[in-house]
Structures are given as C-alpha cells and as structure tokens.
Amino acid sequence: MSDCSSTLSTPAAPPLLKHIAIIMDGNGRWAKKRQLPRTVGHVKGAAMVRGLIEACLDQGIQTLTLFAFSTENWGRPSEEVSTLMKLFLQYLEKEVKSLQTAGVKLKILGDTARFSDELQVHIKKAESAQVQQPRLQLNVAANYGGRWDIVQAVKSWQCSHPTENLSQLTEEALGQHLSTQGMSDVDLLIRTGGELRISNFLLWQLAYAELYFVDTLWPDFDRAAFQQALDWYGQRERRFGKVNAS
C-alpha cells in the first residue's frame, strides 16, 4: 500500500463509525457504457479497492467488508466468473504483502470449498499472514450469502454444544459463530450502482446499519465519493430503536 495521503489532511471519521460494508456494484454497466467487455469493468473495479483501503486507514476505520462474489454469482456467464476468479487470485498474490506492511489484516468470508485448490491455498496463506498491531480488518466476502452465514452459524453452534437444546441458543451465542466473529456489526452499508437492495449480504450484521445507496458505478467511486458517504453518515441520528432524549 502506498502512503501517498496524510491523516493530518483527512477529516476524522464520524463518531460510532467502526465498520463499513460495501456492495461494489456497477462494473459491468460501467464497461457497457464504454462499449467494452464486462470483464474490463471488473478489472477497473478491482483497481479501485486500493484507494478505498487507504482512505479507511486515513479515517481510522476499524473494519471494512467488501462484497466481491455472492453465492448467486455462479449463475453469471462462465467467462465472467472465470475473470472474477482470476482477479481474486491475482489480488491475493500481489497485494497481501503490501496489506500486511500497511497493517491490514485480511479475512475471506464465505464458503471457500467451491474454489479451486490453488485459490484455497492462497486464501489460507493470506489469512495466516501475521500483522503486528492491525490498523484495519479487511473482509472480502467471496462465495458469500447472508442466509448461508446464519445457517452455518447455527450448525457450528450445535456442533460445539452437542448436549444443549436449541432453545438455549441466544443472539450473543450465535454471533460468535458467524463469519464475522469478534467484529462489531456494520455501521454503514454503501451500495454503488443505483440498486436499492442488500442482495443477501450480511443479513445479521446489517440489523441497525445506515444504508447509503448511490447511483455512481463502482469503477467511478473515488475517494471524494467515499467522503460524501461518510459526510452523509455523520448527519444520521442513530437511536437503535430508542427515542432521542431531546
């Protein structure tokens, strides 16, 4: 990761903003507008991630979760899926060392068993990289679905509590078996591309998140657009079901 920006010139993140999740939508449409193959849009979109990570480091964000590939995305054209898998592999091969140096801890959320053996090896290697005093937890959701996450958490809890009845399962206990175990819930969800849905992403963790939808296609979502999302979040009043004392 380059150190081209100064935290002294960057506004601090709004209070209570620890975890940002992003649905990076619009790569294919970005390419189509330019009469280019959809795969070119994915390449451009992948290149935007580095700047976003640097912005989060500058802002002091604790956790960033990116939706890279959903369980439903396997239904896309084979060429597009193949390109996405290659981009994922290239990212792990080229970026992990620089992420580690920058203090970024990487975790892949999702059912990785469907990936190629080569990709699974690189995932394990990337996740095992030691990061001294992590500055940012980076989660990449790949072959991920929110419903899958909840189901696997229930199964995991049952395996670890074989003698207990399901009636003894609590929200707190289940949270310890989700893919985001030990992390705070999402404070801000950003979805680019103009769609107004969460697409089976972090269903449990988004329970009280602020939802920010923007028409900007992901390859055009630069640091200025990211700052606009943070400014919008800073104006929100988060009551978590309670009534404002005033």
Cα–Cα distance measured from residue 243 to residue 245, given in angstroms and rounded to the nearest whole number? 6
Q: What 8-state DSSP symbol labels residue 124?
A: H
The residues pairing with 241 across neighbouring beta strands, listed in sequence order, are none
Q: Which residue among 3, 25, 185, 187 is the active-site one? A: 25
Q: How many residues does the chain have?
A: 246
Is 25 a residue of the active site? yes
Nearest 5 degrees, angle CA 14-CA 48-CA 193? 75
Cα–Cα distance measured from residue 213 to residue 229, given in angstroms and rounded to the nearest whole number? 9
Q: Which residue among 27, 58, 73, 143 is the active-site one? A: 73
Backbone angles phi, psi at 209, to 5 degrees: -75, 150
Question: Given the structure tokens 């990212």, which residue do they identify?
Answer: 91
Q: What's the burial of 138, exposed, middle or buried (CB within 10 Å: 0-12/13-18/19+)?
A: buried
Is 73 a residue of the active site? yes
DSSP for 77-116, written as a single string: -HHHHHHHHHHHHHHHHHHHHHHHHHTEEEEEES-GGGS-
Strand order in the sheet with 19-23: 104-109, 136-144, 63-70, 19-23, 188-191, 210-213
Which positions are catalytic? 25, 73
